[in-house]
Amino acid sequence: MQEHDLSFVRVEMALAQSAPPSERGLGAWIRKNLIASAGDTILTIIGIVLVAMILPQLISWAFINAQWIGTDRTFCATVAQGGIQPDGWSGACWAFVNAKFGQFMFGRYPIDERWRPILVAILFVALLVPLLIPKVPRKGLNAILFFGALPVFAFILLVGGVFGLPHVETSLWGGLLVTLSLSFVGIAVSLPLGIVLALGRRSKMPIVKMLCVIFIETVRGIPLITVLFMASVMLPLFLPAGVSFDKFLRALIGVSLFAAAYMAEVVRGGLQAIPKGQYEGADSLGLGYWQKMGLIVLPQALKLVIPGIVNTFIGMFKDTSLVSIISMFDLLGVVKQNFSDANWATPQTARSGLVFAAFVFWLFCFGMSRYSMFTERRLDTSYKR
């Protein structure tokens, strides 16, 4: 046995040291993320040049040089164009957006009746927000009010003709009102219809399956414009003489059927991802077809495809802008219609109006995609390593 045991066991922990100076602070971050190598440096320079070319111009156009107030085109035109701005001026004409804001929101909805869409919008937000926040209780009641009561109430209020409310033709509707009501109904119709179509496509009944496949593949193969054309020129031919549809309703049917076909494919993806054992387990418990689907398969399948469903919603929201081609005035249609207003026609008008419309569309779509990411994380019950 040795007297002096040379083995050494450290008893106390080594103190944590701060990172060396070369790995700390702004300098290290720049070295790591911007100039790691020669190629990286070149890319950074290209990036800086690109940003320097675009960003200052954009900011000066949208904010610094922009004309915020004004009553007609002279405020947004240069002297050479018959306005008050210096020659060579280039800035956004927010005055135009400001003056036409009411139209952009409601179209030609009578000004005295605009409280009706505003009330619907307030109710819509008041019911939607608690529905979206997971912590708020009474989701069932909320959903019934939102999907059941609100549409009926909104329909009565917006169309009018009863309870002393003057009737407002749908041809007078426009702007964001049309965009939102088309998308809301489209979403509310296309999701259940898409689920039914997806179930039909995976059904064991050959005729049902074939019909669903034909419908889905045909609709997915043709552009929405063709579907809208069909809804606007062919539908009247298909109905008995004298029976005519509201144009708004026709567009609604077209958009909903179109979105339902895409939704069906998304849902089918989810259905296919559910292992066979789940179906068999439900069968062995003695559940019927609808119980099996409603209680076991669909809850799992739909959760899997939330991103796809929301992408379809976003796609549909964007697609509602196409109704402007069949001469209905959604947000984009109204904006475009106002370019030809002689009172406001300047080189900057079109740009400003379109940037405003783009911003509104972007806000809704971006919001939807972020919310879907949030939901996806929240519903994720899988084990994470």
Partner 1 sequence: MASQEILREEPSRGSFINDPKVRGIFFQAVVVIVLVALVWWIVQNTIDNLTRLRIASGFGFLRGRAGFDISDSAIAYSSDSTYGRAILVGFINTLIVAGAGIVTATIIGFILGIGRLSHNWLIRKICMVYVEVFRNIPPLLVIFFWYSGVLSVLPPPRESINLPFGSFLNQRGFYFLRPIWGEGSWLILVALLLGIAMAWFVARKARQRQMATGQQFPVFWTSAALIIGLPLLAYALSGFPLSFDYPKQSTFNLTGGFQVKPEFLSLYLALSFYTAAFIAEIVRAGIMGVSKGQTEAAGALGLRPGSILRLVVIPQAMRIVIPPLTSQYLNLTKNSSLAIAIGYPDLTATTGTVLNQTGQAIECVLIMMVVYLALSLLTSVIMNVVNARMALVER
Neighbours of 17 (CB within 10 A): 6
Cβ of residue 171: shortest distance to partner 1, in angstroms?
Answer: 20
Beta-bridge partner residues of 107: 173
Cβ–Cβ under 8 Å, residues 211 and 200:
yes
Structure tokens at 27: 């300098």
CA–CA distance, 3 with 47 (Å, rounded to integer): 68
If one asks whether residue 371 binds partner 1 (CB under 8 A), the answer comes out as: no
69: left (phi over 0), alpha (psi -120 to 50) or beta: beta
CB-based contacts of 234-243 (< 8 A; 24+ apart in sequence): none
If one asks whether residue 365 binds partner 1 (CB under 8 A), the answer comes out as: yes
By beta-carbon proximity to partner 1, the closer residue of 172 and 233 is 233
Cβ of residue 292: shortest distance to partner 1, in angstroms?
Answer: 12
If one asks whether residue 62 binds partner 1 (CB under 8 A), the answer comes out as: no
By beta-carbon proximity to partner 1, the closer residue of 117 and 308 is 308
- C-alpha atoms less than 13 angstroms from C-alpha of 267 in its C-beta half-sphere: 25
From the list 150, 216, 361, 372, which residue makes contact with partner 1 (rule: CB under 8 A)? 361
From the list 26, 241, 286, 384, which residue makes contact with partner 1 (rule: CB under 8 A)? 241
Cβ of residue 327: shortest distance to partner 1, in angstroms?
Answer: 11
From the list 28, 43, 128, 196, which residue makes contact with partner 1 (rule: CB under 8 A)? 43
Q: Running DSSP on this structure, what letter comes out for residue 24? A: S
By beta-carbon proximity to partner 1, the closer residue of 168 and 177 is 177
The single residue listed with the structure tokens 């009565």 is: 156
If one asks whether residue 287 binds partner 1 (CB under 8 A), the answer comes out as: no
If one asks whether residue 319 binds partner 1 (CB under 8 A), the answer comes out as: yes
By CB under 8 A, what part of segment 331-350 binds partner 1?
A: 332, 336, 339, 347, 350
Within the chain, what is the greatest distance between any pair of CA atoms? 114
- Piece in contact with partner 1 (CB under 8 A), picked from 57-65, 191-199, 268-276, 317-325: 317-325
Beta-bridge partner residues of 93: 67
Structure tokens at 39: 């190629």
By CB under 8 A, what part of segment 21-40 binds partner 1?
A: 33-34, 36, 40
By beta-carbon proximity to partner 1, the closer residue of 64 and 234 is 234
CA–CA distance, 196 with 189 (Å, rounded to integer): 11
From the list 25, 56, 223, 281, which residue makes contact with partner 1 (rule: CB under 8 A)? 223
Cβ–Cβ under 8 Å, residues 186 and 316:
yes
Cβ-count burial 72-103 (b if 16+ within 10 Å, e if not): bbebbbbeebebebeeebebbbbbbbebbeeb
State CA 356 to chain mean position distance.
16
Instruction: Annotate each residue in 155-194 with x if it binds partner 1 (CB under 8 A) or - if it does not, as one string.
Output: ----------------------------------------
- The residue ranges that bind partner 1 (CB under 8 A) are 33-34, 36, 40, 43-44, 47-48, 50-51, 204-208, 211, 218, 220-226, 229-230, 233-234, 236-241, 314, 318-319, 321-322, 324-325, 332, 336, 339, 347, 350-351, 354-355, 357-358, 361-362, 365-366, 369
